[in-house]
């Protein structure tokens, strides 16, 4: 089992502990570390069975935030967890706000969905393969295109169909994006990581020994990641509209309606900043699956009642 997964095993069982750990791992200052410093930190990780400190040491934080838990390679700079919010924030703010033309909407949605798909691919479970196949690259491109068009649908309805009814405009701008963005975020993960469910991912016994590849574990890993991404984007799309509805009742915005735009930008960024560690913490990075849910061939060869796998991100 990879050293990063060994670190997650005792620390990732409770939501609160996972959330505290992710707050440390998402620190943007970690991006200032060089590849040499990251590899040095990885070499300093405690060996299997060694007692871990209650507080996560800097070397462990650097390894968990920058090294892929299957290949052991340093993650590309923009696809490391500490870079997720700094890169995603402007894309979400730009992609979720109304635009004057369909073209500008598609541009922002395309950048948002391309980054989301690429991040999911870079942080996937790659235990069954190490290099990107042509099929996976086509899946990323197709996923980004389809979800970008889907994300632009509310603005397409308003601009191309000439929706003039205030009720329909409010529905398209405030209500439709919430389930739509949540569904598209989940779909993005399912498409990009579909190959995992076809090949299976490596599972380990309680001692950290590999016991084989399981499609059932892969389906659970992809499903949990898709759910966490749906919560992230759905909540981020919903909260700013709720905040705006409350602020519009205040005298400040009634007297200065031009402040509505900046308030929407700020509330979107704040909600996204809170939801990133929350969504990452919903499920353990070291996922588990019971013996009864494994394939028959694995049950016949492996001992134990609970098995573990790298969920991906």
What is residue 223's predicted lDDT score, i.e. its pLDDT? 96
Residue owning tokens 């899946």: 139
Residue 176 CB partners (closer than 8 Å, separation 6+): 153, 154
For residue 38, pLDDT beyond 70: yes
Q: Which segment of 108-112, 119-123, 230-234 scores lowest on mean pLDDT? A: 108-112
Strand 306-310's sheet: what is its strand order? 210-214, 201-204, 306-310, 286-290
Q: How far apart are the first and last CA of the chain?
A: 17
For residue 48, pLDDT beyond 60: no
Mark 285-297 as b/e (b = at least 16 C-beta within 10 Å). bbbbbeeeebeee
For residue 81, pLDDT beyond 90: yes
Identify the residue with better confidence: 111 or 102.
111
DSSP-derived 3-state class of residue 27: coil
Percent of the chain exceeding pLDDT 90 equals 35
What is residue 231's predicted lDDT score, i.e. its pLDDT? 95
Q: Is the dihedral of CA 47, 281, 114, 273 positive or negative?
A: negative
Count of beta carbons in the 10 Å neighbourhood of residue 133: 10
What is residue 218's predicted lDDT score, i.e. its pLDDT? 94
Q: How far apart are CA 14 and CA 277, in angstroms?
A: 14
pLDDT, one tens digit per residue, over 163-208 is 777 777 777 777 888 888 899 999 999 999 988 988 899 999 888 8
Q: Is the dihedral of CA 61, 65, 68, 73 positive or negative?
A: negative
258-272: average pLDDT: 77
What is residue 49's predicted lDDT score, i.e. its pLDDT? 43
For residue 55, pLDDT beyond 60: no
Name the residue ranges covered by the structural domains of the chain: 81-310
Identify the residue with better confidence: 205 or 151.
205
For residue 50, pLDDT beyond 60: no
| Cβ contact 76:6 at 8 Å | no
What is residue 248's predicted lDDT score, i.e. its pLDDT? 66
Q: Which segment of 89-98, 183-192, 240-249, 272-281 scores lowest on mean pLDDT? A: 240-249
Tokens of 37: 């410093």
Cα atoms in the 13 Å half-sphere on the side-chain side of 202: 19
What is residue 280's predicted lDDT score, i.e. its pLDDT? 95
Count of beta carbons in the 10 Å neighbourhood of residue 300: 8
Full DSSP string of 44-81: TSPPTTPPPPSSPPHHHHHHHHHB-TTT-PBPPGGGSH
107-127: average pLDDT: 90
Q: How far apart are CA 184 and CA 14, in angstroms?
A: 28
Long-range contacts of 287-291 (CB under 8 A, 24+ apart): 287/217, 287/220, 287/221, 287/224, 287/311, 289/203, 289/214, 289/216, 289/217, 289/220
Segments in 69-214 forming alpha helices (H): 81-96, 102-122, 134-160, 166-170, 177-192, 194-199
For residue 45, pLDDT beyond 90: no
11-26: average pLDDT: 87
For residue 249, pLDDT beyond 80: no
Q: How far apart are CA 105 and CA 97, in angstroms?
A: 9
Identify the residue with better confidence: 157 or 107.
107
Task: Name the pLDDT band for 52 (thresholds 50, 70, 90).
Answer: very low
Most confident of 139-148, 154-163, 267-276: 267-276
Identify the residue with better confidence: 215 or 304.
215
216-231: average pLDDT: 95
Q: How far apart are CA 79 and CA 87, in angstroms?
A: 9
281-308: average pLDDT: 87
Nearest to 146 by CA among 92, 192, 88: 192
């Amino acid at each position: 089992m990879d050293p990063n997964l060994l670190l997650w095993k005792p620390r990732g069982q409770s939501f609160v502990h996972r959330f505290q750990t992710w707050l440390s791992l998402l620190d943007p200052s970690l991006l200032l570390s060089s590849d040499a410093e990251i590899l040095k930190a990885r070499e300093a990780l405690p060996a299997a069975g060694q007692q871990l400190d209650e507080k996560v040491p800097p070397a462990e934080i650097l390894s968990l935030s920058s090294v892929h838990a299957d290949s052991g390679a340093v993650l590309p700079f923009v696809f490391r967890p500490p870079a997720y919010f700094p890169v995603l924030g402007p894309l979400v703010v730009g992609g979720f706000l109304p635009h004057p033309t369909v073209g500008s909407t598609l541009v922002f949605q395309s950048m948002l969905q391309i980054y989301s798909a690429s991040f999911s691919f870079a942080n996937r479970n790659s235990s069954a393969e190490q290099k990107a196949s042509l099929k996976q690259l086509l899946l990323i491109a197709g996923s980004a295109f389809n979800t970008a068009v889907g994300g632009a649908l509310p603005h397409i309805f308003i601009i191309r169909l000439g929706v003039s009814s205030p009720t329909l405009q409010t529905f398209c701008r405030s209500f439709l994006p919430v389930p739509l963005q949540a569904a598209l975020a989940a779909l993005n993960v399912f498409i990009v990581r579909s190959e995992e469910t076809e090949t299976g991912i490596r599972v380990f016994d309680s001692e950290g020994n590999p016991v084989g590849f399981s499609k059932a574990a892969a389906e659970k890993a992809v499903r949990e990641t898709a759910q966490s991404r749906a919560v992230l984007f759905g909540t981020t799309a919903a909260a700013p509209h709720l905040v705006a509805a409350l602020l519009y009742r205040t005298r400040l915005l009634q007297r200065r309606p031009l402040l509505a735009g900046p308030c929407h930008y700020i509330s979107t960024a704040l909600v996204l900043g809170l939801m990133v560690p929350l969504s990452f913490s919903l499920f353990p990075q070291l996922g588990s699956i019971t013996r009864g849910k494994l394939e028959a061939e694995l049950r016949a060869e492996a001992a134990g009642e609970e098995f573990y796998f790298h969920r991906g991100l």
